[in-house]
Structure 1
Amino acid sequence: MENSVKEPELITVKDGQFFKGDKPYYYVGTNYWYGSLLGSKSVGDRDRLIKELDLLKSNGIDNLRILVGADGGGNDYTVRPALQYEQGKYDESLLEGLDFLMAEMRKREMYAVLYMNNNWEWSGGISQYLEWNGYGKVPIPNLPQYTWPQYMTYAEQFHSCEPCVEAFENHVKFIMGRTNSINGIKYTEDNTVMSWQVANEPRVLSEKHEPIFTKWLNETVDLMESLDSTHLISTGGEGAAGFLWSEAIYERTHQNKNIDYLTMHMWPFNWGWYSPEGEKGKTLNDAILKAKEYINSHVSLAEKSKRPIVMSEFGLPREGESLSPDSSTKNRDEFYSSVFSLLIDSHANKGALGGYNFWGFGGYGKSANHPNGKWEPGDEFTADPPQEPQGFNTVFASDISTLEMIKGYNEKVGNLK
């Protein structure tokens, strides 16, 4: 790419819509959580990264949701290596990997949604801060001796753990205060940043948890606003699914005026809406109906608050839950197309539904195909995090039908130059 390409225009919110410069901005983007790892010299592959960014851009995909970095890096089923390998200590090669990714995206006028933390153990996240601060070992729910309820009970302690919260705030200050070592541009002055996102799927985990969670969320959002009032701020929330399936709780926790737009996530297979075998009540058509209902109800909440909303995570397995890139994506393509059609209507009507980030883009990565499907250190990075079967929700570079369909939708909303 030529360095003469003009810098990205600032993404803003006005009258309940996203704007890129002075034009409305609607998009179909992707999750690319491992992008900074791919950009590092230590464990990455910069040639692959550049090829993937070019492929994404050629299909109108200019919006990437990216994990700033993992925490800890000492547990099985978690991202390794970790950016923050000890509390307050950082792997410089991975920081430079983030810089390289951002510099290459800037050349291509692409946008990053950078999330700072994770509710889940697969990147360390809030549970790692608890372990660092004396709360005992993280009960990794994929290990046979632990359960998901145990993990949830453990994780819920984060928001009232003062040293944990302080350490995370220091992390936020450190990342947002960074100057890119590749191009010398401060992150807070780089319009490649569309949004700073508090975390991946921050959740209210019980009714009694709501007040302390809301206090923490507001304080984190306000901190981000104080550090960068130019770029947008979002929470990374899943919608009602992450708030005890209560739209009212989701609304209450998102009142802060410094939250510039809302987010929602959707997982039809995980939530029991869809089965590749088409069991009764779990067919593709059933899943599409439920998906549209879920989206539309959250769009109504966004309209009520006069803010746009993004479906920033969703996915669907390949045919027969296959992990092979050679397997059919027919049902996935139909599901994607059905929900993307809502974006066309929103674009035409200047609506609140502003975009999608599908989960996720695996590009030219190849899964190692271990018998259990999991990721092991040394394997290539793909879209599926290390605790999930590699290739399960991945869109590979070879998924031509999917990418062509996405390109078509980006053309329809004017997001392809």
Structure 2
Amino acid sequence: MRNYFIFVIVVFVSLSSSAQHTIKNTINNVELITVKDSKFFKGDKPYYFIGANYWYGPLIGAKNGGDRARLLKELDLMKAQGIDNLRILVGAEGDGGDSRVHPALQYEQGKYNNELLDGLDFLMAEMRKRNMYAVLYLNNNWIWSGGMSQYLEWNGYGTVPNPFLPDYSWDDYLNYTKQFHSCIPCKEAFYKHVKFIMERTNAYTNIKYINDNAIMSWQVANEPRVLISPDHETAFADWLNKTVDLIESLDSVHLISTGAEGKASYLQDIAMYQRLHSNKNIDYLTMHMWPKNWGWYSINNEKTSTITSIQNANAYLDEHILVAQKMKKPIVMSEFGFPREKESLNPTSSITNRDNFYKAVIDRITQSKVEKGVLAGLNFWGFAGFAKTNSENGKWLHGDDFTADPPQEPQGLNSVFASDITTLKLIKDANLLLIE
């Protein structure tokens, strides 16, 4: 009888151990992305990627009000192109007025739309099934999703001076928004948001976000920046470092990035860019690339200005890669976009110039892979998939399909649609080279 009980205990312990092993494997069946020797590693292999900006994924992932059929088709299409890295907004604040993101995840300070939280969980669960990685950014410098300016309005700083309305200028908006980094109640509310998201457990996988290897990086914000003058750096740096250190305290496993667009976020001061990425808890650098917004590309001289855009892009890349090499950190161009011919919003219009620009940037990442360089990733802006838009006026209204272009901007301007076969082929061919 004693031997029987011993046998039962041994079997029970063995089964319990096996069950725990199964659970552990279920949690970790996606390999963690880490940084070593100035490079990303996926498991024990270097990881170079061409991914996409897909900020609206949680909105179309919502059970009610979303479009899960579209989401699944788009995830499958991206995966078929080798796109396994998606940069996703985990924010959107306010009431969605003035063509801002609607519905918003945080519709009032500290109050959340449960449908969109569920949409985020669903998106992450579906990405996990496809071995895709998320870069989750937690705030936004710009008004299109509410962001920092909305926190100011919530905390008594008056109405946000929307620069898309005739009464206000961009200087009005930037001077207003710079107050966020000194606003104690605003920052405390944002820190609570960071904790709320990071401490969440996914309703579909039952995995805590801090334990989910499908998250590559927590990103502080979209294009956080020093605003208007150099004396803003002190307040900005204090906020940035406290946010980075908070994220590290909550999750010491996943990577942390800032979301900066390079020196363009820091008054074109490359030394400031380096200073503001010196925190040891910032695992890799980021930069963005916007030829049209930065005046490199002109609709009046497209062929020549596309060449100029490529030349300037390479110079911008070189300058930031040099910083990454000095700091011994990988660097990702986590946004780059280029319009269609004549800035057309029609998905059938020519994308030859765009493809030429994309190819030049893509060549840099494939060469970096060959050279084992620090340029480790690209996320184009952005994937619009099967979205239907109004190409006559390009306006976005509540209830319209989401595209990669923010609600206040012409819909389809920088978007890569499922019908953009030549662009997708460029990306697929390069991603095949990156996994060799």
What is the letter of the counterpart of residue 417 of structure 2?
A: F
Deviation at 1:5, TM superposition (A): 12
Deviation at 1:6, TM superposition (A): 7.8
Give the Cα–Cα distance (whole angstroms) in 1 for the partners of residues 318 and 300 of structure 2.
27
Q: How many residues align?
A: 411
Alignment of 1:98-177 (within 5 A): 98-177=120-199
The residue that corresponds to 2:262 in the other structure is 239
The residue that corresponds to 1:229 in the other structure is 252
Which of residues 288, 307, 310 is equivalent to 1:265? 288
What is the letter of the counterpart of residue 339 of structure 2?
A: P
Is 2:409 aligned against 1:374?
no
Give the Cα–Cα distance (whole angstroms) in 1 for the partners of residues 302 and 364 of structure 2.
26
Relative to the length of structure 1, the TM-score reads 0.97
Determine helix, strand or coil for the equivalent of 1:156: helix
Contact 2:52–2:380 (8 Å) recurs in 1: yes
The residue that corresponds to 1:308 in the other structure is 330
Is 2:83 aligned against 1:55?
no
Is 2:102 aligned against 1:76?
no
Q: Greater CA deviation, 267-276 or 20-29?
A: 267-276
The residue that corresponds to 2:357 in the other structure is 335
The residue that corresponds to 2:231 in the other structure is 208
Give the Cα–Cα distance (whole angstroms) in 2 for the partners of residues 370 and 5 of structure 1.
47
Give the Cα–Cα distance (whole angstroms) in 2 for the partners of residues 111 and 279 of structure 1.
35
Q: 1:71 to 1:113 in 2, by over 3 A?
A: same
Which of residues 218, 242, 245 is equivalent to 1:219? 242
What's the RMSD between the two structures over aligned residues? Answer: 1.5
Deviation at 1:396, TM superposition (A): 0.1
Give the Cα–Cα distance (whole angstroms) in 2 for the partners of residues 173 and 72 of structure 1.
19
Deviations 1:274-320 (A, max 9, x none): 1133269x621111000000011101100100000000001000011
Give the Cα–Cα distance (whole angstroms) in 2 for the partners of residues 5 and 134 of structure 1.
43
Give the Cα–Cα distance (whole angstroms) in 2 for the partners of residues 361 and 231 of structure 1.
25
Contact 1:77–1:142 (8 Å) recurs in 2: no
Contact 2:91–2:147 (8 Å) recurs in 1: no
Give the Cα–Cα distance (whole angstroms) in 2 for the partners of residues 74 and 54 of structure 1.
30
Give the Cα–Cα distance (whole angstroms) in 2 for the partners of residues 42 and 26 of structure 1.
36
The residue that corresponds to 2:14 in the other structure is none
Determine helix, strand or coil for the equivalent of 1:283: helix
Q: 1:370 to 1:135 in 2, by over 3 A?
A: farther
Is 2:371 aligned against 1:355?
no
The residue that corresponds to 1:192 in the other structure is 214
What is the letter of the counterpart of residue 72 of structure 2?
A: I
Percent identity over the alignment? 65
What is the letter of the counterpart of residue 34 of structure 1?
A: Y
What is the letter of the counterpart of residue 126 of structure 1?
A: M
Give the Cα–Cα distance (whole angstroms) in 2 for the partners of residues 214 and 345 of structure 1.
34
Relative to the length of structure 2, the TM-score reads 0.92
Give the Cα–Cα distance (whole angstroms) in 2 for the partners of residues 214 and 69 of structure 1.
21
Deviation at 1:41, TM superposition (A): 1.7
Contact 2:28–2:212 (8 Å) recurs in 1: no
Q: 1:110 to 1:264 in 2, by over 3 A?
A: same
The residue that corresponds to 1:293 in the other structure is 315
The residue that corresponds to 2:414 in the other structure is 393
Determine helix, strand or coil for the equivalent of 2:222: coil
Give the Cα–Cα distance (whole angstroms) in 2 for the partners of residues 164 and 378 of structure 1.
30
Contact 1:36–1:69 (8 Å) recurs in 2: no
Q: Which has the larger radius of gyration?
A: 2
Higher helix fraction (1 or 2): 2
Determine helix, strand or coil for the equivalent of 1:225: helix
Q: Greater CA deviation, 51-60 or 337-346?
A: 337-346
